[in-house]
Chains A and B, each alone.
Chain A
């Protein structure tokens, strides 16, 4: 397998040090190294390859092979600032080269035009810190297209009447339909909704030296053994390494961004695998560590000069956290779907993307038809609630339902609420003695109401599709997040945002942020596509600034 073609010493002042190798960090590394810059990417996790991936659920579920490890990186949670947070794994993110893109489901929706300017359309919402983006869908469209063609997205252009404009079709046809998709289409059609092939970051055809999907069914939570899933690891990172200017350095836990007396970033301080500390010097620093760890790192980088944390003159670092809202409905059918085969999702619908204001709900969502269970997670969570928990009844239900169950997943908006945030826990420390990540979160009431509405629609679709049995659970306040959005939001006003539309922090000229934290609104779920489009755009902006000499002192 590929080895880093270049290595730098920490004392080498490279052009860019990027913290994080996930969806955004991978794209930035590829673009900037291709544009001639010398780049070091510091990744907290290991450099795993396809051969290291497995279907063993004990390694994935329990050992966190691919994700953050709370034994060394504890996380605390509380619902409001008046509570003392307690240890709880409230955040799950990728911790390996490729980041969360390695284990994600690979739903790759574009945001729609409304997501960028909804505040202007609907005005303020009580309890929400709602704003427009400083960029529009049109600004991002070329980069969405670039993601589809370079990272690799399968889909069918024009199949949704609600899709935003696009400049090019998808590079590959959709993945094969599954039972869930056929049934979902049937239900949607009866109700006048528009189901269409799900855009997925999984190759339906061999492409760029990568294999097509083999439909093994172990997508969500697992790394793809054949590289068909379009992760940063399988797509852009090899391109970055091939330039000979980019070093991906794994097992590096960044503890602070160092600044000089002029308030400029001089590099990233990190612990290596042996817990020795180094400063990787760089002309500019880019944080792409995800929407939880990027703000944490800025707060950890507080100094006399930046007492509230780096790039935090607005006080917005870590604030306005949005995890997206969700609800699930389950159905069983007479015949076998065998939905354990193939990628989880095969059809989606966006009829509810912009809800009728008459409903009294803000935002909207998208529904997908899926089966995202593994055998073990199905036995734990996939059976109707009234199923016996043991014995012949349990076993028979498992044997009958495993091949006959599907789900409808409702994804939706999270409103930005300023008090929903990531901050440093004052009491709990990680294994390196640094303050632990603390999550403070309570859903905006609109989001819970909206999801309840969406859940009822999902049940109707299952009914219309002829489900033999169906069930669902009331929407509850969330205490666990994988979409980490909005915590260093982009904006023109330095008092109300952390970065400008070039992804440059308002406060530090040579410090840039690009990941889920950059988002101003949460879309309707499925943020990775937008995070990668932003990363491609950010790379263009940063390259232009660097070439004009506007980053260097």
Chain B
């Protein structure tokens, strides 16, 4: 199984953690609609939120920024990940809405427990956020078991769900409603151009052309 198929399988299994695969597949076409909405929203100057309240959006944005932070390069925030997720929950992934609702409540609770007096996660300092987020990951109902070994039918998990949605929103072709202005691709070193010519990188730059293995001495 190559990477494309395994990623696809893992994606389905991950989503299977929060929605039955049957439900999900029955709603696949809606994803496109979600993506298109998100794309429109991402293109307009003031993207509209359809599911999250402004407060919830701030929380989700701050949480997604823990997964892919902004530093010298753009992170989940600049890529518009929260808008990608909002539209996903509005359409193809509405069944995951309770996961977000429960997850946000748990985040609020953890924030209050760890840092009494901090009203909400997004209001915490960066250092506090890291502590809270680490706690959330540890408390994750299904601990990380390796990207290629995800059990189907695993229990709903806020961190897993948020992580996969954040990755999609950060790295999808902007046509898919995230990765605003290709900031995600730029952050991982992917040239946003649509076509390329050789040489592509360091190793093929001075390639002399294919040569047969010379002589039998090199043969094992």
Q: Which chain A residues have a beta carbon within 8 Å of chain B's beta carbons? A: 54-59, 61-64, 69-71, 74, 87-89, 92, 105, 156, 159, 174, 176-179, 181-183, 185, 189, 191-194, 196-197, 214-217, 220-221, 326, 328, 333, 335-342, 370, 372-383, 385, 389-392, 394-395, 398-399, 402-403, 407, 409, 473, 478, 480, 482
Contact = CB atoms under 8 A, between A and B. Distances in A.
A374 B124 CA distance: 35
Contacts of A482: 1, 5
Contact of A337 (B28, B31, B190, B203): B203
B203 A216 contact: no
Given A391-B69, A478-B1, A156 B210 contact: yes
What is the predominant secondary structure among interface residues of chain A facing chain B? loop
A163 B200 CA distance: 29
Contacts of A395: 68-69, 71, 75, 187
A59 B176 contact: yes
Contacts of B175: 54-56
Given A71-B26, A189-B218, A340-B190, A182 B73 contact: no
A339 B188 CA distance: 13
Contacts of A215: 195-198, 200
Given A341-B200, A342-B200, A381-B10, A63 B167 contact: no
B190 A382 contact: no
Contacts of A480: 1, 5, 9
Interface string B21-32: 110011111011
B189 interface: yes
**Among B7, B12, B167, B203, residue most surrounded by chain A Cβ atoms (within 10 Å):** B203
Contacts of A63: 28-29, 31-32
B67 A377 contact: no
Contacts of B172: 56-58, 375-376
B155 interface: no
B148 A177 contact: no
Nearest to B84: A58
Interface residues of B, number: 75
B210 A375 contact: no
Interface in B148-188: 148, 152, 163-164, 167-168, 170-173, 175-177, 184-185, 187-188
A390 B163 contact: yes
A109 B199 CA distance: 25
Given A57-B176, A342-B196, A182 B203 contact: yes
Interface in B11-38: 11-12, 21-22, 25-29, 31-32, 34-35
A370 B4 CA distance: 12
A391 B22 contact: no
18 contacts: A55-B175, A62-B92, A177-B210, A179-B201, A196-B210, A333-B203, A336-B189, A376-B168, A377-B3, A377-B8, A378-B188, A380-B7, A380-B164, A382-B3, A390-B66, A395-B187, A399-B187, A402-B189
Contacts of A389: 137, 144, 163
A402 B188 CA distance: 6
**Among A156, A379, A382, residue most surrounded by chain B Cβ atoms (within 10 Å):** A379
A337 B202 contact: yes
A392 B172 CA distance: 20
Contacts of B203: 179, 182-183, 333, 335, 337
B146 A192 contact: no
A385 B4 CA distance: 17
Nearest to A175: B198
B127 interface: no
Contact of A383 (B147, B164, B196): B147
B11 A61 contact: yes
A536 B49 CA distance: 55
Given A62-B31, A63-B32, A182 B185 contact: no
Contacts of A181: 204
Contact of B4 (A377, A402, A473): A377
Contacts of A69: 25, 28
A385 B146 contact: yes
Interface string B119-162: 00000000000100100010000001011100010000000000
Given A56-B175, A183-B203, A87 B22 contact: yes
A192 B213 contact: yes
Nearest to A194: B213
A407 to B, nearest CB: 7
Given A375-B184, A394-B68, A105 B9 contact: no
Contacts of B11: 61-62, 380
Contact of A379 (B9, B171, B201): B171
Give 5 nearest A-B pairs by CB, closest first. Answer: A377-B7, A335-B202, A176-B198, A192-B220, A214-B195
